[in-house]
């Protein structure tokens, strides 16, 4: 019996034209793997003995720097029977598709993908973007 089918899907796709944003997602989602001895000792002091072997969740993060590339990665993941659980998609990604176009095209092929729309621009209103369960997140970066 294959136990990997019982594991939760923790695959994340970041679609953004800025390398720094991809690095930020990795910092956030890989933080649990980077707990040093200092943090473990502090946890032990505060909460008692640390739990051994529990390093927290492990996320697999892939990057796409344009919408077209993001759609290709989603297709490949589906072909490999390893779909993404979530995608973070930037709204503005010149020169290609914007995030709304990307989400529209991805949604036609994989409607179960959970999507978070990210933008640094305050001229976009949440109510004009949120449709079909999407969430708007202002990333504060310009």
pLDDT tens column, 78-90 = 999 999 999 999 9
Residues with Cβ within 8 Å of residue 9, at least 6 apart in sequence: 83, 84, 85
- Topology of domain 3-138, per CATH? Rossmann fold (3.40.50)
The reported pLDDT for the residue numbered 121 is 72
Task: Pull the structure tokens for residue 110.
Answer: 């994989």
Q: In the chain, what are the domain boundaries?
A: 3-138
The reported pLDDT for the residue numbered 1 is 39
First to last CA, the chain: 49
pLDDT tens column, 15-51 = 999 999 999 998 888 765 555 556 666 767 777 765 5
The reported pLDDT for the residue numbered 103 is 92
Q: Sign of the C-alpha dihedral, residues 31, 33, 10, 27?
A: positive
Please name which of 74, 76, 82 lies closest in space to residue 107, comparing C-alpha atoms. 74
Confidence of residue 54 (pLDDT cuts 50, 70, 90): low
């Amino acid at each position: 019996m294959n136990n990997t089918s019982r594991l939760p899907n923790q695959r994340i796709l970041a679609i953004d034209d800025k390398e720094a944003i991809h690095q930020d997602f990795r910092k956030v989602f890989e933080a649990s793997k980077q707990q040093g001895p200092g943090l473990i000792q502090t946890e032990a002091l505060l909460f008692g003995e640390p739990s051994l072997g529990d390093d927290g969740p492990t996320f697999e993060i892939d990057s796409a720097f344009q919408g077209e590339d993001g759609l290709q990665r989603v297709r490949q993941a589906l072909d490999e029977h390893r779909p993404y659980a979530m995608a973070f998609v930037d709204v503005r990604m010149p020169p290609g598709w914007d995030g709304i176009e990307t989400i529209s095209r991805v949604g036609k092929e994989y409607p179960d993908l959970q999507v978070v729309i990210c933008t640094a621009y305050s001229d976009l209103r949440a109510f004009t973007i949120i449709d079909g369960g999407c969430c708007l997140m202002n990333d504060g970066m310009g």
